[in-house]
Amino acid sequence: MLFLVTGAAGFIGSQVCERLLEQGQQVRGIDSFTDYYPRNLKENNLEPSRASGNFQFVEDDVVKTDLDRLLEGVEVIIHLAAQAGVRASWGANFTVYTHNNILSTQALLEAAKAKETKRLVYASSSSVYGDTQDLPMREESACWPVSPYGVTKLAAEHLCGLYYRNFGVDTVSLRYFTVYGPRQRPDMAFHRFIKALLTGGEIRLFGDGGQSRDFTYVSDIVDATIAAATAENAAGQVFNIGGGARVTVNQVIGWLEDITGQKARVTRLAVAKGDVRDTHADTSRARAVLGFNPLYDLKKGLAAEAEWLERMLPSLKEA
């Protein structure tokens, strides 16, 4: 089967490509190497896939590329390309978010409609829910995003629903809850914390650290994403994908001190606009329909990320 993976050089996309290739699938990846974080990290992410004869790579922007050609022979689209990050989504940057998150999704849906692609899996986000105390978050809970990023992820999710209902484009949206593990983006908390601990830097912590997240290890995300590509009875639906390890940021810092053997120097900053206090996924729908069963223990996952980051330190310094 030929899969198209958008955002193929990114944290999650590169690992989806590798898993598909390991399973003997054909993969076409596209990525425009946006400048949100350094290209050398994305090139490193792509290296294992590029070594496979079953992998083709297109360097281009999903919005501007010839989608008719890109989708030639493609049976499943896994759409991960996006401008991620909550805090950078305010102000003039918003156009980057509308382009990479909303326009890219609409362009792919239009193209998929004409091609009769079998399925499009869209990477949505827990940030569509916003700041709620109605926990755990269920797929039918109200969605009131509190960041422009969340607004764009929700808009694209709605587009997936619209194209399913109006044109029968088979779409599945996955609301990922804070993903961590090797290759995590440099703007994300665990990456910044581990790097600070390993290099004697300071941890800049937004808020009091009592905020909690439902953290999800990247290989569990990859499992869910690939399961969603072919699962029966999933078309047109939305699924929460959360690891089930809900802890506070302060707890994580303590564990990272144990893992790295270093004492954290924490500078506390005001809560960032767009950050929510807590997230917690109800994953019963994903368990029932996708067979989702997150396997990773948070401490084990943190150790794996720290081990990767230590190996990557020379490239991170270059970056």
Ligand X SMILES: NC(=O)c1ccc[n+]([C@@H]2O[C@H](COP(=O)([O-])OP(=O)(O)OC[C@H]3O[C@@H](n4cnc5c(N)ncnc54)[C@H](O)[C@@H]3O)[C@@H](O)[C@H]2O)c1
- Residues in the site for ligand X, rule: CB under 6 A? 6-7, 9-13, 30-34, 36, 42, 61-63, 80-84, 100, 104, 123, 125, 153, 176, 178-179, 185
Q: Which is nearer to ligand X, 219 or 262 (CB)?
A: 219
Taking the complex as a whole, how short is the minimal distance between the CB of residue 299 and ligand X, in angstroms? Answer: 19
Taking the complex as a whole, how short is the minimal distance between the CB of residue 113 and ligand X, in angstroms? Answer: 19
Taking the complex as a whole, how short is the minimal distance between the CB of residue 265 and ligand X, in angstroms? Answer: 25
Q: Which is nearer to ligand X, 115 or 213 (CB)?
A: 213
Taking the complex as a whole, how short is the minimal distance between the CB of residue 261 and ligand X, in angstroms? Answer: 26
H helices present in the chain, as ranges: 11-22, 39-50, 67-70, 94-97, 104-115, 148-167, 189-199, 218-230, 249-260, 284-290, 298-318
- 3-state DSSP assignment of residue 58: strand
CB 101 within 8 A of CB 156: yes
Residue 315: phi, psi to the nearest 5?
Answer: -70, -30
CB 188 within 8 A of CB 180: yes
Instruction: List the structure tokens of 152.
Output: 């764009």
Measured distance CA(77)–CA(108) in Å, rounded? 9
Which residue in 149, 164, 180, 217 is the catalytic one? 149
Other beta carbons within 10 Å of 272? 12
Q: Which is nearer to ligand X, 262 or 277 (CB)?
A: 277
Q: Which is nearer to ligand X, 9 or 200 (CB)?
A: 9
Q: Which is nearer to ligand X, 93 or 262 (CB)?
A: 93
Instruction: List the structure tokens of 45.
Output: 């992410």
**Please, what is the Cα angle at 279 between 124 and 180, to 5 degrees?**
65
Measured distance CA(288)–CA(9) in Å, rounded? 31
Tell me the pairing of strands 212-217 and 266-269.
Answer: unpaired
Please state, in angstroms and as integers, the Cα–Cα distance from residue 318 to each residue in 40, 265, 284, following that order.
Answer: 9, 23, 43
Q: Which is nearer to ligand X, 106 or 262 (CB)?
A: 106
37 is catalytic: no
Taking the complex as a whole, how short is the minimal distance between the CB of residue 98 and ligand X, in angstroms? Answer: 11
Taking the complex as a whole, how short is the minimal distance between the CB of residue 14 and ligand X, in angstroms? Answer: 8
> Which residue in the shown chain puts its C-beta closest to ligand X?
10
Query: CB within 8 A of 33, min separation 6: which ones?
Result: 9, 39, 42, 59
Catalytic residues: 149
